[in-house]
Amino acid sequence: MFRSTLFAALGSLALIATAGSASAGEFVSNGRTSEVRHGDLNLSKASDQQQLRQRISRAASKVCSSMDRSTAQMCKARAIAQVEAPINAAIARAETSERYADAGAKGVQN
């Protein structure tokens, strides 16, 4: 069963270090996190997938607060990119489970 919160990769949307030592695409966390819950969502539905992405965006905004807007936007983009693979995997699992459930229900009726 998929947990009600996304695992560590999602739960730890992290602030990108803005020090000059980080390369342009490097993701570096300073440990700031924001939990993203999704147990109330059905990720096989496009509307719920969108809701999850909105929650992740809000969480990234929280952990990426900065006085400098461009730094905050870059941080947010990198934090979201860092969790894109687990998000896509969770959605794929939900869609696959939904298709299997539909196929099983149709098979029982025949």
What average pLDDT does range 30-54 have in this prediction?
90
What average pLDDT does range 32-51 have in this prediction?
92
Query: How much of the chain, in percent, has pLDDT values that exceed 70?
Result: 62
Residue 9 predicted with pLDDT over 90: no
Instruction: Report the C-alpha gap between 104 and 110 in whole angstroms.
Output: 10
Instruction: Report the C-alpha gap between 16 and 64 in whole angstroms.
Output: 7
Please report the pLDDT score of residue 11 as a whole number.
45
Put simply, whether the predicted model's pTM sits higher than 0.85 gets the answer no
Give which of 1, 3, 27 is closest to 14, Cα–Cα. 27
